[in-house]
């Protein structure tokens, strides 16, 4: 699948040379605004400092131009509104943001906008449609209809081939992995065809990623139930062990519950578990993944304290998974399925981290417990994660925490 990033953006490329000479104020937050491809600066000799803005701790919502602080924007959420120094009032949208750290500890946020600050350019006709479908609740039918409406001969042939393949396929325990690979190959093929078309070349990076997600959504839905059932059959033994452990798991506790482990905020944890209810029966992988992301965010919110430690997340995830017995019955096959069909690049890196983390938590639940030699008067001890796996997970979660 096509992987899109802001690394080669013309404003950022020029700014990297300038950044070496900037002495940042530690009491300021810096934003480098990046234009979408259809609105890149026309003048090759443009000054990248014109796109650098900063805000002060005392007025975080006001952005000042680095070269002329009297030129200002007001920022609220994902919108910036012109204030002083402009000929007219206008509002721009921030499509995506990435934190960037240069030399001399100069940190700034890369903000991709939907227009240029200094000249206004019409958006591509299909950009709004892609954004609307992406925000519509991950409806696979809308994603598939969008691809069909492109009406490109090569794309139509590929879509017909995919439909025929999965309509006639007999997916089972022995070939499930092969079909997961076939599925990902089809996703990459369609992505390459779509982004070779002229009407999609000028889209912003954020919208290209959304289009990638639409492609993933449209294709994975076509064999969703067949493939999921084959994974359930393949991991029957592991699912049974996880289900047994689910009934006995005491790795952590809710607030007001007796335990030696750190307590979790009860309301947030209950909110997290609600996202698992009925998740096994959702009609597409995209809808399942959407619920898992919300589940993960609520689990992190349930952890006590302001700063969340990476080694607290894994047991909290395990504990939350055990609160829904129905989900625990297929937790291992569920996450193996999603991890196998999720592309390694081209989609949201944060979602990738979440899926990997939850998959490791599910594998911990599938470790068979050793029965204690002597009866224990208290609750059954939770299965201990494998040391090597836990160490690798902690490192991964440290990266994830910067994205949460």
Nearest to 297 by CA among 275, 312, 282: 275
Q: Is 333 exposed, middle or buried (0-12, 13-18, 19+ CB in 10 A)?
A: buried
| Distance, first Cα to last Cα, the chain | 24
Question: Which 8-state DSSP code applies to residue 235?
Answer: T
pLDDT at 403: 52
Tell me the Cα Rg of the chain. 24
Structure token digits, residue 205: 């990076």
Question: 10-residue block means of pLDDT along the chain (404 residues)?
Answer: 90 91 90 97 94 94 96 95 94 94 82 96 94 86 95 97 93 95 96 96 96 96 95 95 79 43 76 93 94 95 75 87 88 96 90 93 84 50 48 59 54
Please state, in angstroms and rounded to a whole number, the distance separating the CA atoms of residues 343 and 326: 27
Within 10 A of 384 (CB to CB), how many other CB atoms are there? 12
Question: Quick one: pLDDT at residue 330?
Answer: 94
Torsion of CA 214, 217, 219, 225, to 10 degrees: -170
Nearest to 187 by CA among 160, 210, 164, 217: 217
Alpha carbon of 208 to those of 162, 194, 219: distances in Å? Answer: 22, 10, 17
Going from the C-alpha of 126 to that of each of 103, 120, 206, the distances in angstroms are 39, 18, 14
Q: Which residue, 208, 193, 205, 361, is CA-closest to 276? A: 361
> What pLDDT was estimated at residue 101?
82
CB 359, CB 339: distance < 8 Å:
yes
Provide φ and ψ at 150, rounded to 5°.
Answer: -65, -35
Q: What is the pLDDT of residue 381?
A: 42
The structure's pTM equals 0.85
Contacts of residue 145, defined as CB under 8 A and 6 or more positions apart, other chains included, come to none
Token pair, residue 147, equals: 């691809």
């Amino acid at each position: 699948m096509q992987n899109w990033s802001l690394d080669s953006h013309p404003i950022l490329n020029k700014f990297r040379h300038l950044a070496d000479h900037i002495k940042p104020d530690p009491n300021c937050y810096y934003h480098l605004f990046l234009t979408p491809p259809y609105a890149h600066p026309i003048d090759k000799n443009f000054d990248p400092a014109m796109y650098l803005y900063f805000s002060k701790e005392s007025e975080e919502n006001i952005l000042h131009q680095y070269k002329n602080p009297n030129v200002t924007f007001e920022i609220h959420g994902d919108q910036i509104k012109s204030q002083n120094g402009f000929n007219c009032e206008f509002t721009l949208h921030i499509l995506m943001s990435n934190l960037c750290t240069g030399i001399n500890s100069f940190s700034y946020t890369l903000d991709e906008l939907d227009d240029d600050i200094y000249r206004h350019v019409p958006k591509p006709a299909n950009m709004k449609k892609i954004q609307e479908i992406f925000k519509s609740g991950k409806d696979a039918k809308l994603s598939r209809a969008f691809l069909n409406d492109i009406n490109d001969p090569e794309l139509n042939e590929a879509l017909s081939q995919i439909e025929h393949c999965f309509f006639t396929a007999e997916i089972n325990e022995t070939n499930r992995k092969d079909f997961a690979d076939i599925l990902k190959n089809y996703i990459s093929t369609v992505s390459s065809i779509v982004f070779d078309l002229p009407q999609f070349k000028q889209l912003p990076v954020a919208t290209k990623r959304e289009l990638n997600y639409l492609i993933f959504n449209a294709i994975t839905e076509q064999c969703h139930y067949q493939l999921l059932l084959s994974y359930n059959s393949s991991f029957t033994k592991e699912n049974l062990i996880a289900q047994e452990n689910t009934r006995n798991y005491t790795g952590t506790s809710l607030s007001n519950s007796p335990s030696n482990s750190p307590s979790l905020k009860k309301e947030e944890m209950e909110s997290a578990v609600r996202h698992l209810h009925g998740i096994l029966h959702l009609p597409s992988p995209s809808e399942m993944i959407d619920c898992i992301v919300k589940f993960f965010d609520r689990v992190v919110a349930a952890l006590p304290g302001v700063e969340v430690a990476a080694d607290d997340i894994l047991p909290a995830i395990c504990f939350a998974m055990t609160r829904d017995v129905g989900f625990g019955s297929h937790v291992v096959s569920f996450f193996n399925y999603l991890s196998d069909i999720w592309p390694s690049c081209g989609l949201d890196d944060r979602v990738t981290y979440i899926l990997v983390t939850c998959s490791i938590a599910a594998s911990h639940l599938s470790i068979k417990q050793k029965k204690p030699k002597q009866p224990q008067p208290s609750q059954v001890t939770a299965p201990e994660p494998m040391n090597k796996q836990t160490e690798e997970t902690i490192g991964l979660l440290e990266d994830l925490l910067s994205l949460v």
